[in-house]
Every structure is written in C-alpha cells, then in structure tokens.
Structure 1
Amino acid sequence: MQTPAPIDLASFYANPDRSVAVLNYNEHFMSSIFDLVNSDELAQFVQLFLTEQRAKTPADANPATTFNLVTPADYLTTIKAVLTDRTDAYNQFQPAEILASIEDLYSYYRTYLRVATMTIKQNDVMASEFMMIDQQFNDLVIRLYRTIEEKLQGHANHVYRQVNAGSTACVLLQKVNWPVPTGYEALKDIRFMSRLMLRPPMMLHTKSNKRKGHFTATAVNPIENFTGTNEDWYCYPALIGESLAYIYFHRDYLASGLALANLFQLADRDQIVGKKPDLVLLFGTPGVAGDDQPENGHYFYDAQNQLYVGQVPYNDQTTYFGYMKKMCLTLHNLHMIAEKRLPIHGSMVKITFANGQTKTVVFFGDSGAGKSESIEALQAVADEQIASIETIFDDMGSFTLADGKLYAQGTETGAFVRLDDLSSEVAFNNMDRGIYMNPEQKNARVIIPANTWPRVVAHHEIDMWVYANNYDDAIGVHRFTDQKSAEATFVAGKRKALGTTDEVGMSTTFFANPFGPVQEQAATQPIIDAVFDQLFKDDVYVGEIYTHLGNDKSQAKLNESARDLLAELLAL
C-alpha cells in the first residue's frame, strides 16, 4: 500500500509515513465537543484513517455492514447522529460495528507522535498557562471519545484510563533575535523552542533503529542547500557542555527534537538573545552531490564566522535518534579540539563511599565496549560500601588542561542508553521520566535525565581513568605503569563491535571516538600527548577493565572485574 499524502493545514499537520502530527493552537483551538467534531482537522484525519482502513479491509467485505467503507462525510454524519441521540444513527450499521471503528480511529490517532504548539511574543503565556491550555484539549478529545463510546455501548464505562488522548507534548515557540551572519538569513524567522511540556513515559517509534557510518567534512557550507521555512522547521537551542548550539530540524523529526529535552540543556532566552552560537545543525536538509556518504551527514567549519555547521539529510535511516545526538556531539567535539580540549568518549561518575570518601572515575571506550555495564556491575557488587553514584556524563565529555591541572567536564544532562544495559531498578525508577525509542526492538533505547547542567559543566578532578576492554579474556582491572603503552591502548581504540552500529567484529577507532577525534586526528594527537603527560605526572590511576562483552558476555566475569575495580578505588 502506498502511504497516503500528509495532511497540511495551517492548524494541523499529520504525516502518516513518519507518524508525526502537529497541532497549532494559535491557528485553531477547539473548545467544545461540537467544535471538534465539526472541524476540518477531524474531517481530514478521518479521511486519512479510512484510506488506510480500506487497504486492510478484505475485498469481499460488504459495504452495507462495514462501517470503514463509508465516505468520510457519512462517517462524520453518523458520529454526529450518535452524539445527538438521533434515531437514524443506526439505520444502516449496528452500534457494535460503529464502536469497533471508533475504537480503531482513536487508537490510530494515538499511534502518532502528537505535538501541540503555541507561538508567543515575549512572555505573554506563562508555563502554567500553556500546560493548562494543552490539558483542556486533551480533556476535550477524551470526553468526545468517551461520550461516543458510552452512547454506542449503552452504558457508562466501569473503568476509566486517563491516557494522553489529545497530545503527547506541548511546545512554546518564540522568535528570537540573534546576530544572523550573512548567508544564514534563511534561519532568521525559524522559531525557537522556549518551553516544553512532555508526557512521559513517551513511547516513540522511528523507521530506523541503528546508526551507520561516520560524519565527514564537506567543502560546501550546508546552509547553501537549506530550503526550510518557519512553518516546517523548529530550533532547539541547546547547551552542549559549554557550547551554544542551535539545532534546527524538520517537523518530521519531532521525535528526535523532543528527545533532546531529556539529553541537552534547553538554553534560556537570555542565553540566546543577541548571541551567535558555536554550533549550528540543520537536520533534514539535503547535502552536496558527490559528498562522501551523502545519506549520512556532514560538517563544515565556517572560518569567517567561527561557526561549526552540521547537516543530516532527510531519509528513513536518519530517523534514529543516534544521528541527532552524535552529530550534535561531533560538532561540539570539533569545537573542543579547536579550543585545545580533549573530547572523551565515555562515562564519568562520582562515587561516594560509605566511609565518606569520594572518587571520580572515567570509563572510556567506543560504543558497546561496556562503559555503562561496568558502572552497573560496580553498583551491583558494592553491597553497602557505596553510598551513591552520581553521573557527571554518560557518553561524552572533555578533559581540559589549565594552570597545570587536569579537569573534566560533561556535555549531556541526560543519558541515551540501551534498555538491555539498564538494571531493572534503574529502568523502573526512571520509567515515569523516560522517552523510549522502539522499545519492542533490538537496540531499544531510553533517554532519561541524569544531572543538572551546572553540575555537568563544573570542573571535576579525575581519580581514575579506565579503558573498557571488551575483547581480551582476562578478568579484573590492569593499571598501566608505562605511559607509552597506556596512551597506545587508548589511541588504538580497539573493541569488538556488538551491533549497536553497522560494525561487526573487531575494530579500531582512533582514540575510541568517531565523533571529532577521528575527523581531526592531527589536531587531536598533541592534546592527547599533553593529557597523558599530566596524568602520569599527577600519578592518576590509568588502566583498563575487562568487561567480556565482546566474548561470552558473562555477567559473573564482569562482576568479578567490578570487584577488582572497587578494591582499587578503595585503596587509592
């Protein structure tokens, strides 16, 4: 079946190919059941629904008894007759047949990611007001559904479930004046996300569930191919570490755009008005013909404006949230390298022990090496020896040398993790805040808040830095005594790929980080050298932990390695 064309009204957009719907409350806010049932928005959505239903209906179905085969006009006429208790409502179809179709329509609408928007001037709508307005619409949709349902079944419901009937999220949009460089005028009128209201747990589904390839440099600024408008594009202004990023995306990527709220700090208005960003991402715009991996994404450094510009094309593959996240981090890491900071692909935690001691540990390695699993195992074997573990960064951070000292900072305020990597305790404790991506599939992910932005970007000293070794068969941890062999191990970036990307088997990645250091190896190497010099000068523990994830995935062996790690930490 060919996917029907999107609905594109000023007040309502629905794309069945991406299962994304956008409601514009500024254009039309429905305040009553009859306003809703008589709306053009509902009429067009019913037509979309019936088009898809007919494709699923057997060819020999009897039009006289199959309600899904009526015209959209007759469908709505019947609904209105039911609502007003007209006796002719059931002249052709039985209540049970109508009810079954209404249930399907209601369920079909709720399969969409439904995002309500309001565009404001200055601060004329406060946060509490926009949430209240959105709740009114949700109440209206569920009231219409229940009224029809109870009339058709002939009695009131025995159980009521307060689902998010109208919208999944609501966004306040606002135009922001910032110093738009020459050549970037197409971005001037695109609205910024000012406030977001999410209704977690959010279960989102995308057409892709895995990232492929690398992002590469392009010789042409992606802004030259940008054709978006303020009607179909939005901007999420993010603080990625201390980098200011303006992340522009097509509305069909709202699943990824909303998920950013659980991962990167949303910048305040006073942090963006009149401020030129460090990074700009155009997500869902064409690339340049002839570029390497045109289906994947590219970056460009605009030296004149001192601006890193990223581009990811509109296609099914890039619906996976990893593309949005990793391109943001690639641009940030390139910015860090230019500032002589070292991007770190890993997780950093601050452990508070029961005896009052605190230790900061950085787990290092490429995707699937066992960084998150090592932290989980450490927590599992610690019994009561660990009072708490604070996540400073979950995937990417940076090391900075300043005044003869080395410190670390994070980038993300949240975590984008595989569901399989989470303990049941962590998974259930965060369920009511999570944004879940394709939870029924392999490589299912959840994005959960982890820490506050001021805490993430604070200057943290480092007590231990360990490489997550998932390929050797050893057990425990190993401390490097030789600086050259330590640096060689970290720079080689060996791992056995687990299928979280398109790689399989043994692989090597420069400094275990394909998001910046790989692209700028010559600029990164001197920073690596300086960092290792400082680490060994300060006698910081630099080693590796054997995770076994690339071999037998033995939890018992990983737990044993975690016990050795715990012992080393307590001895520091």
Structure 2
Amino acid sequence: MKNKFHIYNAENILLIEKDNLIQLSHFKMLIKDFIQDLDKDSLFGLELNDLCLKYHKESFDLIYSIFLNLYYYPYEKLNKVFPGIDEHKEFLLNLTDTFYDYYRTSIRFMLADKKIFSPNRTVTVLNHFSNIVISFYRQIYENIISSDQRIYRQLASGLNGAFIFEHIKIKNLPEELSFLSNIRPITSIIVQPPFLVNTTSNKREGTFFEDNTPITKKDMDLKHFYLLPLKIRDVLAYAYVHEKFISSIPGLGTLFRIADGSFLKNNKPKIIFLAGVNNATKPYYYQTNDKTFIGVLPALDKYDYFGYFKKMLLTLFNLTMINNNVLPIHGAGLSIHLRNGITKNVVILGDSGAGKSETIEAMKHLNDHLIADITTIYDDMGSFIKENGNIYTKGTEIGAFVRLDDLDKAYSLLSVDRAIFYNPEKTNSRVVVPISSFTTTITPFKVDLFLYANNYETSPTGIKIISNKDEAKKVFISGQRYAMKTTSEKGLVQTFFANPFGPMQEKEKTQKIIDDVFDTLYENKIPVGVLYTNLSNDNDESIIKAAKGLLSLIEN
C-alpha cells in the first residue's frame, strides 16, 4: 500500500511540545486515518469493535480517550473511566504499538526557510521533534505496563526529513513557462534513515516520445508543486514535482547533484521536468521556442514510480548531449586499478539485467588479490566524447537506482543509513544509493576497452573481441537483450544502440555520432567486443568466464 504523506512547516514544528502533542488537530486526524485504514476483520479490529460496544463509544472517541487518560493520568484513572479495561491490557499495548507503527509508515517532511533554518538548525529541530514523539509513545506504553521497558530503541520517529528552500525567484525560464517562476527552489534535503517508501507502482512501462502539446498554467496546480534544481554534469535541470510524488524528491537528490543558488542564478535550464501534470495521459517531451527540453509526467497513480523520474531526466539529458555531438552510453563505466600498477577504463554497454554488475562482482571475488580498486564512473548512463583524436567517457549520475536483488546480500544492510528504499517488500524492489562523487562524474576517462553485454546467447562464453568495425557496430546498434523483469518488456527485445532514452528517439543524429566514435576507436586500436554473461539462463559459470576474460584483457 502506498505511504500517506504529510508536510509540516518548520515554524509549526518548533511550537510542538510533549504536553500539547495530543491536543493537535493533526494527532486527531491521524487517529481517524488509522481507523479508516484498519482491517476491521482482523483480531485487533474485532476486539476494538467489542470494546466500542462495551463502552458505548465510537472508535475515535474510545482511542482518543484512552490515549488522553494514559498520557495525563496514572493507569488507575483509566480503570475508573473504563471499568474492567484492565482485562484488556494486552489490547492496550497492541493499540499503542500498532498506532505508533502506523504513524511511522507515513512519509513526513518538514519545509524550512534557509533564511531562518540553516541545515544544522533544521537537524536540531528534527531531532527535537523525534524525541517528543518517542517520549510520548514511551510514557503511554510504560503507564500501561507500570514499569520501565527493558530494551529502548531510539528510532527516527518524528519526521523522515526536511526540504530547505531559498527565496530565489526563477528568472531564466522559457517565456512559455514563466508562470513557474514563483515556486521556491529546494537547495538542501535532509533525510532521516532508514528511508523506506512504497509507491503506487513498482515498474516502468514504455519509453518517452516527442509530442508538441505545450503545458500551460491551467495544467498545473502550482501551490502543490516543489522545485528541485539539479546539476547534471554541466547542465541545469529543473524538476517540478507535485506533492503526490513527493517520495521521489529524496531519490532525485541522491541520484543527481542538487544545484546551489549560485549555479541557479548564473545558468539557464536546458531541461525542465514537470511531474504531476493534469490533463496529460502519457509521459512525453517537447521543446520550447528557445529549444529547452520539457518533460511531462501525468498526475496519474500509475506513474508514481521513481523509474519514470530517473529515465525522463536521463532521456532529456541525452537528447541535449546528442544535439552537442556527444554519444549517450547506456551501461557501466569503470576505472579498474590492478595492484601491479595497470589501470584500464572499461565501458560495458547494456541495459539493466544484462549482467554488468554481476560480472564486476565476480571479477572482484575471484581476483581480489590482483585488483587494488574499482572506481565507478557511472552505473547506468554515461557519454562518449571525442577530444584530441581520442574517445573519453564521462558519467551522468552520482547515484544508482538498482534492484535489491542485484546487490551483494549484505550491501543493502550496510548502506541502510545512506540509501533510499523503494517498495522493499515488492517484486522489483529498488534502492537509490550514492556511488560516485560529482568530481568523478565530470572527469573525462580515456576509453581503453568497449564491450557489449550479451545476456541471451548460451555460447560462446567469456569475451569475444571483434576485429571488423562494421560487424561490431551492427552488434552494438542492434541492442539485443533478454528482458529481465525490470520493465514491462518480455523475452528477447531489441533497442537501437541499447538505449531507449535519447538515441532511439534521435536515430539519425545518433547514427552519425556512432560512426565517428567507432571510426576513432578502431583507428586507435581500442579493443571492442562482446561480453557473454548468459544471465537470462541464470548461468553462474558464464559469469565467471566473463569475469576471467575481462581481467585477462585488462592485464594485457
């Protein structure tokens, strides 16, 4: 079930103290939501109904009165208000825990004005409110059991985090979107881990295509939008996000670098993403008169999935790169450092599920004594840039949006304090984690090896270097892979240059860049070939052979 969300102003949070928490209208509304979402046929729901009948109370009145008496008075007072309630002590404990857990499953963020609340002061306010909530819960619980608890867990119980905004009027928008200028930009995000959220959907469907239907003011309920400015490499991108998709904002802030006030004032956005648009029925993009790319995501529940946010921004960024004769790469870029001093920069082209990360992990485990370090340049999307007769690669994201199943078993636990978890209990559960510094992302790495990840053929195994340039181009451009349940695709599919996020939309422009890149790679005798992972058949032996082949190429 999707998490409910609540937004609070920092000034209001400051006014809350332990003694007035139960009097707040929000606390009463929380009880009403709790009752509405309660499974009436569960054992707990049935016992609550029995007590309502016994004491001639509505559910809200009964629960509120119980909490009120337990908070302000000794437990004996509750027995006088509700004679015989002592027989239901286990129910009272269950009620307290169940209500507390229900509260903690909602997404709760605070809005803070940077003029008043610096990041450090905001953290102090968050911790203060968390302590108030924990203290409130413990006082009621310990009043019921008439003793201290034996184990105290100091959970982040107040808010999930905060958005700190600045009073910067956005003046560099395309004229057609000037109505967005008064939405204040978020320039810092504070997250209280663990951040686990369930969205309405957990899988992305389809890709994005151009549709010259411009967005106007009537298509957006502006008072419910937030602006997160992003610095994607050297490109300024504005993500305007409706509050119904608010759980995607921390993910975006982890995946990309948040732009600061100075970068906002001195640059014009080349990308504007509008997430939560009324009247739209499908995701699409278009260009304004000044050639700014605009991405549109409808305000429909089916698009409440972080994958749409990530891939729309990457599509728009890649289209911007193609217009600048830069080749988008859908795959992984790695700088592999061996203990003997050899360093090779390897790029593996291939979609999610192609076996890139599995091969790298196998190589590390098999040859840990040979590998000094592996620098992740990018985990999903990068670019090839031709400079001074050589091909260099750069990253795009500073984070990764990966399936939990693709991670090392211990990784999700080790990264719980830094990660954003999406739909952790569902199929295709995902996590957003930091993987690279911004400096690494913008640094050009000379390409030493370029491979295509083949996850569908059972033979050959290992790595095959292709000496014929035209044959190699055919393999890479065909973009064949076996779909691995990360999208709605099934079976063996083909995508132009294995990249449905820009190159597929602009095949003619991209083809010219591909030709130039492959000409340069082969002129410079850079090895180009195929990495056979056989991942679609869950063949560990093929992964091991691919890992051994990769290390052999790097060593020589």
Q: TM-score, length-normalised on structure 1? A: 0.91
Partner Cα distance (1:182, 1:329) in 2 = 24
Q: Which amino acid aligns with 1:188?
A: S
Q: Is 2:203 the counterpart of 1:214?
A: no
Partner Cα distance (2:166, 2:22) in 1 = 30
Please say which of residues 516-525 and 88-97 is displaced more in the overlay. Answer: 88-97
1:469-508 equivalences in 2 (<5 Å): 469-473=454-458, 474-508=460-494
Contact 2:384 2:391 in 1 (8 A): yes
Map Cα deviations across residues 286-311 of structure 1 (whole Å, 9 max, x no partner): 354xxxxx34x111111x22211001
Contact 1:281 1:328 in 2 (8 A): yes
Which of 227, 230, 234 aligns to 1:235? It is 227
Contact 2:170 2:182 in 1 (8 A): no
Contact 2:503 2:510 in 1 (8 A): yes
1:150 alignment partner in structure 2:
142
Map Cα deviations across residues 134-190 of structure 1 (whole Å, 9 max, x no partner): 110111111111111111111111100011111111221223223233221331122
Q: Is 2:258 the counterpart of 1:266?
A: yes
Which of 512, 517, 520 aligns to 1:531? It is 517
Q: Which amino acid aligns with 1:214?
A: T
Q: CA deviation at 1:430?
A: 2.5
Relative distance call for 1:96 and 1:386 in structure 2 (3 A) is same
Q: Structure 1: which 5+ residue stretches go unaligned?
A: 1-15, 289-293
Q: CA deviation at 1:18?
A: 4.3
Q: TM-score, length-normalised on structure 2? A: 0.93
Which of 507, 513, 516 aligns to 1:521? It is 507
1:9 alignment partner in structure 2:
none
Contact 1:346 1:362 in 2 (8 A): yes
Partner Cα distance (2:177, 2:246) in 1 = 23
Q: CA deviation at 1:444?
A: 1.5
Partner Cα distance (1:330, 1:75) in 2 = 50
Partner Cα distance (2:46, 2:69) in 1 = 27
Provide the aligned C-alpha RMSD in A. Answer: 2.1
Please say which of residues 525-534 and 81-90 is displaced more in the overlay. Answer: 81-90
1:383 is paired with a residue whose SS is coil
1:135-534 equivalences in 2 (<5 Å): 135-179=127-171, 180-223=173-216, 226-230=219-223, 232-288=224-280, 294-295=281-282, 297-302=283-288, 304-473=289-458, 474-534=460-520
Relative distance call for 1:268 and 1:510 in structure 2 (3 A) is same
Q: Is 2:550 the counterpart of 1:546?
A: no
2:541 is paired with a residue whose SS is helix
Map Cα deviations across residues 395-451 of structure 1 (whole Å, 9 max, x no partner): 001111233232111100011111111123544442331111122222121111011
Map Cα deviations across residues 352-393 of structure 1 (whole Å, 9 max, x no partner): 101011110011012321222222222122231101111010
Aligned residues with identical type, % of pairs: 32
Partner Cα distance (1:541, 1:104) in 2 = 59
Q: Which amino acid aligns with 2:78?
A: A
Relative distance call for 1:318 and 1:64 in structure 2 (3 A) is closer
Q: Which amino acid aligns with 1:382?
A: N
Contact 2:2 2:199 in 1 (8 A): no
Relative distance call for 1:386 and 1:494 in structure 2 (3 A) is same
Map Cα deviations across residues 259-310 of structure 1 (whole Å, 9 max, x no partner): 112211111111112532110001111354xxxxx34x111111x2221100
4+ long deviations beyond 6 Å: 65-69
Relative distance call for 1:208 and 1:64 in structure 2 (3 A) is closer
Partner Cα distance (1:274, 1:307) in 2 = 16
Contact 1:67 1:101 in 2 (8 A): no
Partner Cα distance (2:174, 2:476) in 1 = 39
Q: Is 2:36 the counterpart of 1:46?
A: no
Relative distance call for 1:103 and 1:274 in structure 2 (3 A) is same
2:541 alignment partner in structure 1:
556
1:81 alignment partner in structure 2:
69
Contact 2:482 2:490 in 1 (8 A): yes
Partner Cα distance (1:17, 1:460) in 2 = 41
User: Which structure has more helix as a fraction of its residues?
Assistant: 2
Relative distance call for 1:509 and 1:54 in structure 2 (3 A) is closer
Count, aligned residues = 545
Contact 2:378 2:397 in 1 (8 A): yes
Q: Structure 2: which 5+ residue stretches go unaligned?
A: none
Q: CA deviation at 1:120?
A: 3.3
Contact 1:33 1:140 in 2 (8 A): yes
Partner Cα distance (1:350, 1:285) in 2 = 40
Q: CA deviation at 1:65?
A: 6.4
Map Cα deviations across residues 30-56 of structure 1 (whole Å, 9 max, x no partner): 431122111111111112112223745
1:26-45 equivalences in 2 (<5 Å): 26-45=11-30
1:491 is paired with a residue whose SS is helix
Partner Cα distance (1:286, 1:488) in 2 = 42
Partner Cα distance (1:546, 1:425) in 2 = 26
Please say which of residues 274-283 and 86-95 is displaced more in the overlay. Answer: 86-95
Q: Which amino acid aligns with 1:563?
A: K
Q: Which amino acid aligns with 1:38?
A: Q
Contact 2:237 2:269 in 1 (8 A): yes
Partner Cα distance (1:126, 1:438) in 2 = 32
Please say which of residues 139-148 and 186-195 is displaced more in the overlay. Answer: 186-195
1:277 is paired with a residue whose SS is coil
Contact 2:403 2:429 in 1 (8 A): yes
Q: Which amino acid aligns with 1:489?
A: V
Q: Which amino acid aligns with 1:478?
A: K
Q: Which amino acid aligns with 2:110?
A: A
Q: Is 2:93 the counterpart of 1:99?
A: yes
Contact 2:422 2:430 in 1 (8 A): yes
Partner Cα distance (1:448, 1:218) in 2 = 33
Contact 2:3 2:197 in 1 (8 A): no
Contact 2:52 2:59 in 1 (8 A): no
Map Cα deviations across residues 468-499 of structure 1 (whole Å, 9 max, x no partner): 00111121101110110111111110011111
Contact 2:391 2:446 in 1 (8 A): yes
Which of 50, 56, 65 aligns to 1:62? It is 50
Partner Cα distance (2:509, 2:216) in 1 = 26
Q: CA deviation at 1:524?
A: 1.0
